[in-house]
Amino acid sequence: MMLDSILFYFFAALAVGSAILMVTRRNAVHSAVFLISTLLAIAGIFLQLQAEFLFVVQIILYVGGIMVLFVFVIMLVNLDVAVRQMKFNRQSWVAGLLALVLGGLAVVVYRSGGGAFNLMGAPATTMPPNAEQVGTVLFQKYFLPFEIASILLLVAMIGAVVMAKRKI
């Protein structure tokens, strides 16, 4: 029980710290690396909650797939032009005001406690094998929509490669 708490606080601190560093870095590649560490920490929390399917989806889909797309976009975008463009420094007071409002909301939620939301968790021993059930439903009942979505993603990827290809 104590190890579970230590692991949760470790993954939570890693996720929050990486998210803060992701937002505050000026280098887009560094931000992408911190986003990867944030997503990995969230995957660790999913694994600790015994949500194996969400853990695997988080690793394969977000860390593996989406982040590769982010890195390709970062490499394809001309960052020299973006550095020379006008910065949004005039909205710092808006950002500060929104940070205060969100901080106030976090304090209200924290003080109202878990009892205010009336959430009951299922014991881990009664949880069904969720990855097996999702796979069974996905490949039996929703097989055709799954394949259509994969073809659409393939067409989008080919279109992105064609659009990014430079004319010689």
* DSSP symbols for 88-134: -GGGHHHHHHHHHHHHHHHHHHHHHTGGGTT--PPPGGG---HHHHH
pLDDT at site 79: 59
CA 89 to each of CA 33, 40, 85: distance values in angstroms, whole numbers, following the listed order: 25, 32, 12
Q: Supply the pLDDT for residue 84.
A: 58
- Percent of the chain residues past pLDDT 70, beyond the cut: 80
d(CA 91, CA 99) in angstroms, rounded, equals 12
Provide the token pair at 89: 């420094």
| Residue 16 confidence (pLDDT) | 95
Q: Are 74 and 66 in contact (CB under 8 A)?
A: no
What pLDDT is attached to residue 112? 79
State both tokens at 154.
């393939």
All residue ranges of the chain with pLDDT < 50 are none
CB-based burial of residue 39 (10 Å sphere; 0-12 exposed, 13-18 middle, 19+ buried)?
A: buried
pLDDT in tens, 44-67: 999 998 888 888 888 888 888 777
- Residue 1 Cα to chain centre, angstroms: 27
Q: What is the pLDDT of residue 115?
A: 66
| Tokens standing for residue 50 | 């015994």
